[in-house]
Amino acid sequence: MRTLLWFKQDLRLDDHPALQAALSAERLLPVFVFDPQQLQIGEFGSRRLGVHRARFLLESLTALDGALRQRGSHLLVLPGAAEQLIPRLVNQFNLQQVLTLEEIAPQERAQLARVRRQLAGVPLQQAPGNNLLQAEDLPCPVEQLPQVYSQFRNLVEERLQVFQPRPAPERLPPLPDGAAALLQALPTLSQLGLGEPLSVPSSAFPFSGGEAAAQARLRDYLWNSQGVRQYKETRNGMIGSEYSSKFSPWLANGSLSARRVAAELRRHEAQFGRNDSTHWLWLELLWRDFFRWTLLRHGSALFKAGGLKATEHAPQQLDQRFAQWCQGRTGMPLVDANMRELAATGFMSSRGRQVVASYLINDLQQDWRFGAAWFEEHLIDYDPASNWGNWAYLAGVGCDPRHKRTFNALRQAREYDPDAAYVSLWLPELRHLPPHLRHTPFLLAPAQLEALNYPRLERIPETWKPYLPHAA
């Protein structure tokens, strides 16, 4: 069998069911299609792919190509539309099947359908995607799964899952004759029109893209430092690389298998014992799966203003306050610090994401979809299910029975950044203020605030009053 292996958001060799199915091929052509349309401005004013995620993607593709070369193969990366390039390669090299992983998001599923139509009878086989649970692992059909996470978790946890991911193969079938002539260097960020991001020493994600880096982090967090054993206590941190697992960027582009993480977590618990923190990481993996099954079930409804509750009315206005939020210039220091970290590094803590999203929706009354699209462009761990699912949840238009989740931004600042260390890290204009004022510069006289070149809040919410300095 002469086979094309189409990589998408699965940039690894470990626990890759489509790759395993391709091992018996006589000739194998591994392909990744880079669609320049991702760099165009979309309906919400953002790109689908920004500079930080593009950098992480290029690093991951370089690592994948290196791993393939070690096994007697190569990665062919081509710019264009998959529905044109995949059938052309199949015809050019007389290939007999295309193997790839399943997709869960509407646009990607539509693309798979277009490719299948253009293949004119050559089979397109889809193996299970990077879910933790596969369809056959579920206790009921997808359509019957609970729509609330707590109920989903309880149902799934009734059945003990045993994950046995298959390791990367030692050798791969050779390329088709003549395919090596198509190999070309990856584009640079500058060639993509994105420019080169500056290195930021204080980044909470100082790691590289690719499977080797992902496996190294997995080993370190579960086995060397055993940071996982303090995960529940540290997960709401905002400074440094060790307050959380940081697995999400590699999970998002498939450099790391969710099932491999679960298998290693179970192995760790078997050796060192289960505690609240190891269990909490398992629950986070289940959250990721819950959002993936939700997206598969509801499709494009998740991307609409009313979300999964079409009767709910989330704010739909958009004005200059959205731009100020994007720029980290709202006048609320904790929000601004998080947004500047995102712009500078492509990463933000889980706590920060909840705070800035709630602030955009509830305090600024802006259309949540524009915030979700901004995250899509900038987050290196962007994943359509988790990103849009979490935004819809906070906007009150997801599956949760509560109307919406509202975070008091100043209370969050006092609780999770009590000494203003995080705000000081990302807002240099506030560093010279007394620590008790770094979260509340809006209490300064107008001339002082203007001298700092920091924006003034339009109003101080009543709910913030208990968290203002006592001297105010």
Beta strands at 27-34 and 76-79: parallel, antiparallel or unpaired: parallel
Report the pLDDT value the prediction gives residue 311, as an integer from 0 to 100.
Answer: 62
The 10s digit of each residue's pLDDT in 322-356 is: 999 999 999 999 999 999 999 999 999 999 999 99
Q: Please count the other Cβ atoms lying within 10 Å of the Cβ belonging to residue 202.
A: 13
> Using an 8 Å Cβ cutoff, are 383 and 251 in contact?
yes
241-254 residues labelled b (16+ CB within 10 A) or e (exposed)? bbbbbbbbbbbbbb
Report the pLDDT value the prediction gives residue 446, as an integer from 0 to 100.
Answer: 92
Query: What is the average pLDDT across 54-59?
Result: 98
> Helix-strand-coil percent breakdown of the chain, rounded to 5?
50, 5, 45
- For the domain made up of 320-467, give the CATH fold: DNA Cyclobutane Dipyrimidine Photolyase, subunit A; domain 3 (1.10.579)
The upper half-sphere exposure of residue 233, i.e. CA atoms within 13 Å in the direction of its Cβ, equals: 5
Query: What is the average pLDDT across 154-175?
Result: 90
The 10s digit of each residue's pLDDT in 130-146 is: 999 998 888 899 999 99
pLDDT band at residue 472 using 50, 70 and 90 as cut-offs: very low
Bridge partners for 58 per DSSP: none
Task: Estimate to the nearest angstrom the gap between the alpha carbon of 250 and the chain centroid.
Answer: 8
The 10s digit of each residue's pLDDT in 415-432 is: 999 999 999 999 999 999
**Residue, of 313 and 116, whose pLDDT is higher:** 116
CA distances from 201 to 42, 57, 240, 348 (A): 31, 20, 10, 15
Report the pLDDT value the prediction gives residue 162, as an integer from 0 to 100.
Answer: 82
Which of 121, 110, 462 has the alpha carbon at shortest distance from 299? 110
Of all residues in the chain, the percent with pLDDT exceeding 90 is: 87
Report how far residue 318's alpha carbon sits from residue 367's, in angstroms, rounded to the nearest whole number. 6
Is residue 86 pLDDT above 50, yes or no?
A: yes
Average the pLDDT over each of 8-22, 64-78, 254-268, 305-319 and give the range with the smallest value. 305-319
pLDDT band at residue 312 using 50, 70 and 90 as cut-offs: low
Is residue 400 pLDDT above 80, yes or no?
A: no
211 Ramachandran zone, left/alpha/beta (phi>0; psi -120 to 50): alpha
Is residue 91 pLDDT above 80, yes or no?
A: yes
Report the pLDDT value the prediction gives residue 293, as an integer from 0 to 100.
Answer: 95
The CATH number corresponding to 211-298 among 3.90.1150.10, 1.25.40.80, 3.40.50.12170, 3.30.465.10 equals 1.25.40.80
Report the pLDDT value the prediction gives residue 404, as an integer from 0 to 100.
Answer: 63
pLDDT band at residue 471 using 50, 70 and 90 as cut-offs: very low
Is residue 405 pLDDT above 90, yes or no?
A: no
297-334 residues labelled b (16+ CB within 10 A) or e (exposed)? bbeebbbeeebbbeebebeeebeebbebbbebbbbbbb
The 10s digit of each residue's pLDDT in 228-271 is: 999 999 999 999 999 999 999 999 999 999 999 999 999 999 99
pLDDT band at residue 402 using 50, 70 and 90 as cut-offs: low
Is residue 445 pLDDT above 70, yes or no?
A: yes
| 262 burial via Cβ count (<10 Å: 0-12, 13-18, 19+) | buried
* Class (C level, CATH) for 2-129: alpha beta
Domain layout of the chain by residue ranges: 2-129, 211-298, 320-467
Report how far residue 413's alpha carbon sits from residue 423's, in angstroms, rounded to the nearest whole number. 9
Dump the DSSP string for 87-103: HHHHHHTT--EEEEE--
pLDDT band at residue 196 using 50, 70 and 90 as cut-offs: confident
